[in-house]
């Protein structure tokens, strides 16, 4: 995803509702100008309260699920993209690896041992390491973007407050 795919929303917590249809929460953020954004949130921050100043990152022009949340009032934050879960190989992975190793052992004999080792390393690289690196890179971009956007937003609010 490009950085333009993400949208930073700044405002104040208007309401936090338990979403009975889903397994999470509905976060209502009141922005400058009275606009309200309703966003799906897996788990709210521990000390987040009504009227706290927050910054939220979502995907695309039609916001839905919260990717990152920072509560500027308490100083807490969570980047949900950066919280990836390591997974062990599943039964499908093990079945594919076993079938490949078994068929290469039948065809190649002892030469299959180094070929199987190379296959397992390549499979791990493609299914685990590269997606994890991509996820970390995206999380770092979101952290940078939310800091930059908040500084710009705060500077505009301060400048508008000093003019009036």
pLDDT in tens, the chain (164 residues): 555 588 888 889 888 888 766 668 888 899 888 888 888 887 777 778 888 888 888 887 666 788 888 888 887 888 877 666 666 777 888 888 899 889 888 988 888 889 899 999 999 888 888 888 888 888 888 888 888 888 888 888 787 765 54
Has residue 148 been placed in a domain? yes
Rounded to an integer, what distance in angstroms lies between the CA atom of residue 123 and that of residue 95?
A: 13
What does residue 92 show for φ and ψ, rounded to 5 degrees? -65, -40
Rounded to an integer, what distance in angstroms lies between the CA atom of residue 154 and that of residue 161?
A: 10
What CATH number is associated with residue 68?
Answer: 2.40.50
Is residue 136 within 8 A of residue 129, CB to CB? The reply is: no
Is residue 68 within 8 A of residue 146, CB to CB? The reply is: yes
The model's pTM: 0.64
Has residue 78 been placed in a domain? yes
Has residue 119 been placed in a domain? no
Domain that holds residue 16: 3-84+128-163
Has residue 26 been placed in a domain? yes
Has residue 113 been placed in a domain? no
The total number of structural domains that make up the chain: 1
Has residue 104 been placed in a domain? no
């Amino acid at each position: 995803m490009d950085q333009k795919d993400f949208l930073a929303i700044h405002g104040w917590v208007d309401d936090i509702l338990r979403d009975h249809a889903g397994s999470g929460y509905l976060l209502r953020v009141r922005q400058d100008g009275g606009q309200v954004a309703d966003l799906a949130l897996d788990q709210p921050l521990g000390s987040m309260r009504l009227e706290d100043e927050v910054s939220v990152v979502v995907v695309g022009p039609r916001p839905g699920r919260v990717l990152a949340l920072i509560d500027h009032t308490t100083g807490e934050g969570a980047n949900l993209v950066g919280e990836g879960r390591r997974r062990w190989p599943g039964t499908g992975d093990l079945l594919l690896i076993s079938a490949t190793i078994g068929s290469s052992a039948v065809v190649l004999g002892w030469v299959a041992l180094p070929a199987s080792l190379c296959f397992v390393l390549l499979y791990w690289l493609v299914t685990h390491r590269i997606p994890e690196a991509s996820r970390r890179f995206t999380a770092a971009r979101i952290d940078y973007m939310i800091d930059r956007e908040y500084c710009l937003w705060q500077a505009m609010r301060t400048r508008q407050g000093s003019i009036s």
